[in-house]
């Protein structure tokens, strides 16, 4: 175990402690999951697909992803891991062709006791909807790797094991989706320095009419909160988080994420959206907004086009 792994492990534990602060003394949720058969045979909008994981326990979430891919006839790789920290299955779907790879990540696990709709059933659903579109018209000059990770809530364990065992060669960049189910502005985060990949992301967002500091935001390294992209960033790969936030909450959010402990203590009564439901029993399907999910699918489609057509110079 490397020093870096110990750092992630400790940060995972801190995140869990933080979740408990945010969650207070809440009991387990009372949401009923949608019957799996109904989801597998139902509509395939990202909002409808959010029912695939919402309100299931982590073992059922994990198997539901495999069930969906199998039912749709999508070839996938199962990356199974077991360490002293935990065990799980990551799933990998590869689409397109070319010598560079864009990696899009969404974790399938949730904090126990939370229905995990916005964190992170919505993001998994977004990637499944994107998968359908890319499978219909695969990019010819770019590989797109969809990675569905386990154990993100354990200090990004699934992603950490994945980056140790998979090749990081020719990866153009990584985007990890978190909390993508409500709001109207996109936030690209942990993006402290300009990179060719960050320019590609900006170009993609602008190609679908988004404007910097209005309908999309690029923010630097966020303390305490994190996501799977950090496992890739630790390997030197350009990797960012992607979250949807309400335009109206931009300032409150900035204050909240950059001093979360202070905010958690001071603003227990009203945390800014989406952190009012994050890691709580209130993270339910009813809070999701289909327009937010559709907007992320649109942005990711634009990112695939942009990454396939721009060829960043080698550093």
CA distance 262 to 57: 31
Closer by beta carbon to Zn ion, 178 or else 190: 178
Q: Which is nearer to Zn ion, 139 or 275 (CB)?
A: 275
Between the two ends of the chain, the Cα-to-Cα distance in Å is 30
Closest CB 233 distance from Zn ion, rounded Å: 16
CB of 176 to Zn ion, least distance (A): 9
Least distance in angstroms from the C-beta of 178 to Zn ion = 5
Q: Which of 120/200 has CB closer to Zn ion?
A: 120
- Closer residue to Zn ion (CB): 101 or 280: 280
The residue at minimum Cβ distance from Zn ion is: 119
Closest distance to Zn ion from the beta carbon of 152 (Å):
6
142 vs 148: CA distance, rounded Å: 19
Q: Which is nearer to Zn ion, 117 or 307 (CB)?
A: 117
CB of 177 to Zn ion, least distance (A): 9
CB of 214 to Zn ion, least distance (A): 26
**110 within 8 A of 178, measured Cβ to Cβ:** no
Please say which residue, 217 or 229, places its beta carbon nearer to Zn ion: 229
Q: Least Å distance between CB 97 and Zn ion?
A: 31
Residue 3's contacts (CB-CB under 8 Å, 6 or more residues apart) are none
User: Least distance in Å: CB of 247 to Zn ion?
Assistant: 22
Site residues for Zn ion per CB under 5 A: 119-120, 178
CA 39 to chain centre: 21
89-92: which pairs have CB atoms within 8 A and are 24 or more residues apart?
A: 89/62, 89/150, 90/147, 90/148, 90/149, 90/150, 90/158, 90/159, 90/161, 90/162, 91/65, 91/66, 91/147, 91/148, 92/145, 92/146, 92/147, 92/148
Please check whether residue 229 is in contact with residue 105, taking contact to mean a CB–CB distance below 8 angstroms: yes
Nearest to Zn ion of 171, 242 (CB atom): 242
Rounded-to-integer distance, Cα 235 and Cα 173, Å? 12
Q: Which is nearer to Zn ion, 53 or 303 (CB)?
A: 53
């Amino acid at each position: 175990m490397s020093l870096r792994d110990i750092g992630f492990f400790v940060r995972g534990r801190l995140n869990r402690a933080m979740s408990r602060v945010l969650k207070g003394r809440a009991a387990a949720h009372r949401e009923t999951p949608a019957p799996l058969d109904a989801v597998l045979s139902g509509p395939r909008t990202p909002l409808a697909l959010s029912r695939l994981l919402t309100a299931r326990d982590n073992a059922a979430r994990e198997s539901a992803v495999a069930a969906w891919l199998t039912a749709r006839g999508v070839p996938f790789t199962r990356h199974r891991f077991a360490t002293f920290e935990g065990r799980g299955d990551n799933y990998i779907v590869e689409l397109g062709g070319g010598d560079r790879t864009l990696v899009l990540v969404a974790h399938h696990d949730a904090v126990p006791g939370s229905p995990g709709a916005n964190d992170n059933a919505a993001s998994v659903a977004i990637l499944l909807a994107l998968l359908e579109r890319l499978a219909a018209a695969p990019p010819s000059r770019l590989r797109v790797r969809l990675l569905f990770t386990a154990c993100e809530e354990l200090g990004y364990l699934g992603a950490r094991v994945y980056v140790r065992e998979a090749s990081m060669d020719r990866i153009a960049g990584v985007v990890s989706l978190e909390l993508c189910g409500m709001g109207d502005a996109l936030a690209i985060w942990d993006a402290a320095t300009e990179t060719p990949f960050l320019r590609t992301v900006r170009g993609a967002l602008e190609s679908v009419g988004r404007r910097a500091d209005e309908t999309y935001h690029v923010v630097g390294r966020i303390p305490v909160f994190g996501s799977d992209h950090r496992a890739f960033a630790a390997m030197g790969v350009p990797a960012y988080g992607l979250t949807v936030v309400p335009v109206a909450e931009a300032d409150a959010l900035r204050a909240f994420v950059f001093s979360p402990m202070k905010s958690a203590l001071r603003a227990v009564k009203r945390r800014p959206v989406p952190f009012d439901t994050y890691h709580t029993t209130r993270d339910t399907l009813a809070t999701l907004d289909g327009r937010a999910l559709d907007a992320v699918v649109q942005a990711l489609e634009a990112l695939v086009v942009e990454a396939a057509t721009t060829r960043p110079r080698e550093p």
